[in-house]
Structure 1
């Protein structure tokens, strides 16, 4: 359902408002269904989370099917003129731009799954990250939405998937090297670490 509305916003909202509409849609769904499904509206995000073992493989494959189905349904609805004109100005960006733009989103999603961001702020964080990534890349940043737009063969789609895996694994490495947390959730001071080593 979420990917359907996300793709519908991308297909029917004219530029320059498209990134804002897509970012706002994601923000809404993170709040609305985040506790039920994790708000997986992007196949690349799902692939990245599976690659870094943050999401079960079996569930991830089912999510991928649902995401693609939702995007294709949005394409049908938009193409049939049921919700306004089908936009034609939103295109895949250069592969490098899609790679870097999606990196912003993937790092943020990985952080929220590790509870680095308070639950109440995760919608703003992820929606804002998508908006920032879209403004950086001027692209799609979602393979399911790209499929709905007829851009599935674009190199940018593969760049997005590669970015998802690379940045998710990169975050995992960073996560493992952070200082150990104490009970109140704050990092221990150098003095506390020295005392512990005695």
Structure 2
């Protein structure tokens, strides 16, 4: 009897087998987000609008007035700052002229140290243009106002004249009369050669000056002066090698219209008045007009390169909204 009860108990504890049990299947639902065509078109339009705004901002930065927007002929003389700037340009150009007339352009190392020193001395006064071709480039790219640029050019010419007077006075007071370096007269036969030398030299100097403006805003005076000095030396070396070795011409470049004007480049005698005017015209073309054009062109090339290389920089200086750009 006991045995039969235990079997029944054991039998009752066993679970019945379910032959119809199916394996469990885990269903993973994948949610796919379908973007409506209208949304895609809207996003593309927004991207294009941002690109257009950025392009407008870049061009606005390129053509924007980079100098004092409030400066004009009525406001420039209200503060004494302009007089300090003019004194800086006058004294600086005087020293540059004395440097070139005493040590000469055939001493590039002396020119380097001299230009760096003079630039550092007048850097905070006027920016140390010291060359009408540089000032013309600054005016064309709207870094200085027209009235400031004209005043700078006048100060540079007067400074070059003072430098010539001082050096010539010491020369005349000496026991031995040493002649100043003389320029070979510009003739129709060598016109294009002299134009090329002046143009290349001033273009090199002006491009370096343009690039130095990036460091002027960072108050790195020595870097600013070193770039300008390096550009001056490179321009002089180009002029020396090309004129002496390639063209077989000596003493036929100045690279500074202010110095050229005061350095007696204009002839004072000729066979007749027509010949005199013709010679004066050639001198003006080579030593004044060509350098000024080279300076302006070099500044525009430098600004174009800066704009293309630093497109995002315009957002720091301009606020663009609804297709219009304003200076911050």
Q: Give the TM-score normalised by structure 2.
A: 0.50
The 8 Å contact of residues 15 and 90 in structure 1, kept in 2 or not, is answered as no
- Shift in Å, 1:94: 1.3
User: Any stretches of 5+ residues in structure 1 without a counterpart?
Assistant: 186-198
- Cα distance in 2 for partners of 1:74, 1:90 equals 18
How many equivalent pairs are there?
A: 182
Among 140, 145, 152, the residue aligned to 2:254: 140
Q: Secondary structure at the match of 1:55?
A: coil
Residue 4 of structure 1 pairs with residue 94 of structure 2:
yes
Among 214, 225, 229, the residue aligned to 1:127: 229
The 8 Å contact of residues 99 and 159 in structure 1, kept in 2 or not, is answered as yes
Higher relative contact order (CA 8 A, sep 6+): 1
Change in 2 beyond 3 A, CA 1:146/1:21: farther
- Shift in Å, 1:25: 2.0
Change in 2 beyond 3 A, CA 1:108/1:159: same
> What is residue 78 of structure 1 aligned with on the other side?
167
User: Any stretches of 5+ residues in structure 2 without a counterpart?
Assistant: 1-90, 187-192, 241-252, 267-279, 317-328
Change in 2 beyond 3 A, CA 1:15/1:106: closer
CA deviation string 1:7-37 (max 9, x = no partner): 11111224632x4433332211221220121
User: Pairwise mapping of residues 89-168 of structure 1 onto structure 2 (< 5 A)?
Assistant: 89=182, 94-115=194-215, 118-138=220-240, 139-151=253-265, 153=280, 154=283, 155-157=285-287, 158-168=289-299
Alignment RMSD: 2.6
- Cα distance in 2 for partners of 1:119, 1:159 equals 29
Change in 2 beyond 3 A, CA 1:106/1:80: same
CA deviation string 1:25-72 (max 9, x = no partner): 221122122012101211110011101111121111111111000101
Larger of the two Rg values belongs to structure: 2
- Cα distance in 1 for partners of 2:170, 2:259 equals 18
Residue 87 of structure 1 pairs with residue 180 of structure 2:
yes
Residue 34 of structure 1 pairs with residue 123 of structure 2:
yes
Q: Give the TM-score normalised by structure 1.
A: 0.80
The 8 Å contact of residues 157 and 258 in structure 2, kept in 1 or not, is answered as yes
